[in-house]
A = this chain, B = another copy of it.
Amino acid sequence: MYNQAALSLARNMAYPPADLIGEAPTLTDLFKGVPAETLSGGEAIFWEGDEARQIFDVLEGVLRIYRIMPDGRRAIMGFIYPGDVLGVSFQDRYLFTAEAVTDVKVRRISRGRFFSLVNESPALRPQLFALLCDEMSAAQDQMLLLGRKSAEERVVSFLLAVQRKCGAHKEIELPMSRLDMADYLGVTIETVSRTMTSLSRRGLIHATGRHRVALHKLNTLREIAGRDEEEADAQRAPPMRRAVWPN
């Protein structure tokens, strides 16, 4: 999904590791050689307020990052997918909790190491910057969604975003629960459910399992999502095609 977590940075997954083809290193390369750790669904990597000492590279699985209000209301800021980097921030404490949705494999390095390596590399610096910009861009999409879209528009926007993120296949996976979706979209679980049912009845989607949905009539779906998305999408540069400073 959107990587709008302040600290979840999407990298280019479309190409083989940079050094194999003689290109500049990528942010992911910083984690090379670090042994992977495993978390089961529901486990947290870190909690909101923890000292932010490390940065994580997600290899497998999906995470949710969220903040909770004193009265228990939860807002999910984003879902983190393989290929995202988690925990990048200038604050010295994590601003949200990161929790495994599914079983997850991650690698970690210290913040100090991460930043000094990035700082010393003219190739990595623009990458880090570009990723933060993509984050901000996704965050703004989400603000538009939360501030101005109806429940149906939100759900459809979400489904399309997942589709984009995961290879643009007709059938998509929704590893998160309805509650996760609800807390991400700023609605209730019942509203998510009702909306999905309604979309099904109209033949726009077809649920092939609790966590699996096929998207039909993409044109109609995009229409519903607000149309706004695609344009934005087209504009956004392909992720990290060339990570050089803008001019």
Contacts and interface: CB of A to CB of B under 8 A. Distances in A.
A129 B130 contact: no
A236 B143 contact: no
A146 B187 CA distance: 11
With most chain B CB atoms within 10 A of its CB, the pick from A133, A134, A226 is A133
A219 interface: no
A142 B142 CA distance: 10
Contact of A143 (B4, B129, B232): B4
A170 interface: no
Interface stretch (A17-25, A37-45, A91-99, A195-203): A91-99
Contacts of A144: 67, 69, 75, 77
Given A91-B236, A112-B247, A130-B90, A69 B148 contact: yes
Given A89-B136, A132-B136, 19 more contacts: A4-B140, A67-B140, A67-B144, A67-B228, A70-B227, A75-B148, A77-B144, A88-B133, A91-B235, A96-B140, A116-B247, A119-B125, A129-B129, A135-B136, A136-B139, A142-B143, A146-B147, A147-B184, A147-B186
Interface of A: 4-7, 49, 52, 67, 69-70, 73-75, 77, 88-93, 95-96, 111-112, 115-116, 119, 122, 125-126, 128-130, 132-137, 139-140, 142-144, 146-148, 183-186, 226-228, 232, 235-237, 245-247
16 contacts: A5-B140, A70-B227, A75-B143, A75-B148, A90-B129, A93-B235, A111-B246, A112-B245, A112-B246, A119-B122, A129-B132, A132-B133, A139-B140, A143-B143, A147-B184, A147-B185
Per CB-CB distance, the 3 closest pairs between chain A and chain B, nearest first, are A6-B136, A147-B186, A146-B146
